[in-house]
Amino acid sequence: MTEQTQYHALKVDAIKCIGCTHCMKSCPTEAIRVIKGLAVIDHESCVDCGQCHRVCPTNAFYVEQDDLAKIRGFKYRVILFPSIMIGQFPEKYSENQIYEGLMKIGFTHVYEVEQPLQLLIDSVKEYCANPVNTKPAISAYCPAIIRLIQSRYPSLTENIILRKAPYDLAAHFAIERFMLEGAQRDEIGLFYATPCIAKIASVKSPGGERESIVDGIINMNHLYNEVMKVISEDEAEDHSIQRQNLSSEGVLWSLTRGESRNFGSRSMAIDGIHNVVRFLERLENDQVKGIDFLELRACDQSCAGGILLTGNRFMNVERLERRARRYPLAKDIPFSNIKVDVEKLKQKLIIDSIHPKPVFIFGKDRIKAMEKIDRAQRIVCFLPGIDCGACGAPNCHALADDMVNNKAKMSDCIFLQQMWEDEGRITPNKAFLNVQKKWGTNRFKADCNKKGRRNEGF
Amino acid sequence: MKLTFAIQGGDFIHAGHPSSEVKKVLKQLNIDNKIIKNVVIALYEAEVNVVAHAYSGTVNVEIDENKITILVTDEGPGIPDIDLAMKPGYSTASKSVQEMGFGAGMGLPNIKKNTDEMWLETEVGKGTKVKMLNYFS
């Protein structure tokens, strides 16, 4: 297995970050430390779930995206987005008005990705029916979950269904359709609007995971803003031809139970990264029996709760559920609507393999790792055990691990420092300087404008 | 390296904690996933045995470069007939325990299946000791 640094979409803005530890405490893989008063992400452990982005009170996390101006270079300018995009707009705008808004900002074609979904449903069913494949089969839909399994639950990598997500389905479908119309591949610009940070990372990761099929990726909330600037209150043209393969299942796919309701005789859907972590722990211990299909999503309410989505997740869900009722079932949409070579498209849905990428925080040498774990266990005895985070690590165990990895010192723990001061082992001045070094001088200033001041609770 | 855990008889809610902790350590030691799985299953069964039948118990884990040895000791009723207890499907678990989804009579047979070596020492009215050994390669 080759070691490659994965691409990560999340960055920390050093000016906005105040090192408040909210992100560090909520990270499901303990990938964040506060160093010199700033949140620092460990890229080996990060799975791009975006939990830190969600809880940050100062919006210090930002996400790299492609410039919308990039679309100008193409003849066919296609915006691909999961159906969830429609759910965030105010009720009064119809699907056609939203489609028209997207075309006003420069796109020539609008494609919701969950079409033609029956192909994917069939393909996943085929996969699950094959007795060779490990049960319970875990959907490969959520990219943050795939990374979580690869790094934290490597033994479950073999349970992941080797079938791509609607994103790939629609991208290939769009390409085939335009080529059929006589377009050249380099005339087609595919842009994907994402509700999700992990998707950006998985699309942009170099090698290994996949070749990027899209030419650009745009944050969904950015696109929402752009459309809201130009959207018209007037009756829009009928664009329904562009969604003639969209089904009821397709509209619901990105919501919780969107997949699981279609597969398996006993299926489960779990949303929220912390819930998924607790469940995978059980699954790995072989304490989950008889389940054949698992839909696991990093965000609460699945993609409706995506980091880059505007509006309230529950309202998004409600709008989509109502919308789904107006669409036919996937099996009732004639294959003749698809027009392109169905078999070829089906081939494109197959993922060759997904490899485990375990993270060894103490290194790969077993004897050294054992010594380190032993030492960390002894260190923990001296720490207060209240997981206060004042050391810059999310909990006392993580601090002890950092210490044996030479990434932290005993004096990082303010409790130990206090004790040493009391015992006369260090001077009060030295103790103060230690804390100041960790958190910066600003944390000690009286400042009525700083975040968390009066009347502005987090 | 050594790890120690206490088990409370009758506490099904927290059964599984020692096996989860042991798993965490083994994962960090780059042990083959299949072996980790065997160890976790065997230890979990042993834990449930203590929870379902005994009053209290301890788990002592010793890990070295090549193997993991786990000793589960309990204070409990002991096993009157070891041969019978080793028979798959034979169970003396109470009805209430079985209603909770435990006590299928697979505990000891499963431990045997998932370990490289296993020893059982028991004294009726006093308690039971189960020692399990798994090699890493």
The CA distance from A25 to the nearest CA of chain B, in Å, is 20
| Chain A residues bordering chain B (beta-carbon distance below 8 Å) | 154-155, 281, 284-287, 358, 360-362, 364, 366-367, 369-371, 373-374, 377
Report how far residue A4's alpha carbon sits from residue A44's, in angstroms, rounded to the nearest whole number: 10
The answer to whether domain A10-63 and domain A68-132+161-256+302-348 are alike in fold is no
CATH topology of domain A68-132+161-256+302-348: Rossmann fold (3.40.50)
Which among B19, B30, B64 is the nearest to A285, CB-wise? B19
What are the tens digits of pLDDT across the range A91-144? 899 999 999 999 999 999 999 999 889 999 999 999 999 999 999 999 999 999
Residue A207 reports pLDDT greater than 60: no
For Cα atoms A277, A279, A282, give the angle at the middle one, nearest 5 degrees. Answer: 115
Interchain pair B41, A370: CB under 8 A: no
Complex prediction ipTM: 0.83
Sign of CA dihedral A284, A260, A334, A77: negative
pLDDT value at residue A126: 93
Kindly indicate the confidence band of residue B102, based on its pLDDT and cuts at 50, 70 and 90: confident
Provide the pLDDT for residue A453.
Answer: 57
Query: Nearest C-alpha of chain A: how many angstroms from B123?
Result: 30
Residue of A nearest to B63 (CA): A370
Q: Would you state the pLDDT for residue A3?
A: 40
List chain B domain ranges.
Answer: 2-135
| Tokens found for residue B71 | 């000793």
Q: Facing residues of B122 across strands?
A: B128
A36-48 pLDDT per residue, tens: 889 999 988 999 9
Q: Which DSSP letter does residue A303 get? A: G
Chain A contact present for B23, CB below 8 A = yes
Q: pLDDT tens across A299-323, in order?
A: 999 999 999 998 899 999 999 999 9
Mean pLDDT for the stretch of residues A215-232: 92
Using the beta-carbon criterion (under 8 Å), do A285 and B36 form an inter-chain contact? no
Lowest model confidence (mean pLDDT) among A49-58, B67-76, B82-91? B82-91
Asked if the model's pLDDT at residue A67 lies above 90, the reply is no
Q: Is the CB of B67 inside 8 Å of chain A's CB atoms?
A: no
- Given this model, what pLDDT does residue A305 score? 93
Nearest to B28 among A284, A362, A377 (CB): A362
Question: What's residue A1's pLDDT?
Answer: 33
Is B24 within 8 Å of chain A by CB? Answer: no
pLDDT > 80? residue A63 = yes
Q: What's residue A383's pLDDT?
A: 95
Q: Count Cα atoms within 13 angstroms, Cβ side, for A454.
A: 3
Q: What tokens does A61 get?
A: 């996390």
Across the interface, whether the CB atoms of A155 and B40 are under 8 A apart is answered no
Q: Do A358 and B27 count as a contact with CB atoms less than 8 A apart? A: yes
Average pLDDT score over residue span B16-44: 92
Does the beta carbon of B126 lie under 8 angstroms from any beta carbon of chain A?
no
The predicted structure's pLDDT at residue A452: 56
| pLDDT number for residue A208 | 44
Q: CB A131: neighbour CB atoms within 10 A?
A: 6
Calculate mean pLDDT across residues A209-218: 76
> What is the model's pLDDT at position B105?
67
Q: Per CATH, which fold does B2-135 belong to?
A: Heat Shock Protein 90 (3.30.565)
Given a cut of 80, whether residue A258 has pLDDT beyond it is yes
Looking at domain A10-63, which of 3.30.2310.20, 3.30.70.20, 3.40.50.2300, 3.40.50.150 is its CATH number? 3.30.70.20
- C-alpha to C-alpha distances, A104 to A110, A232, B101, nearest whole angstrom: 11, 10, 60
Parse chain A into domains and list their residue ranges: 10-63, 68-132+161-256+302-348, 366-444
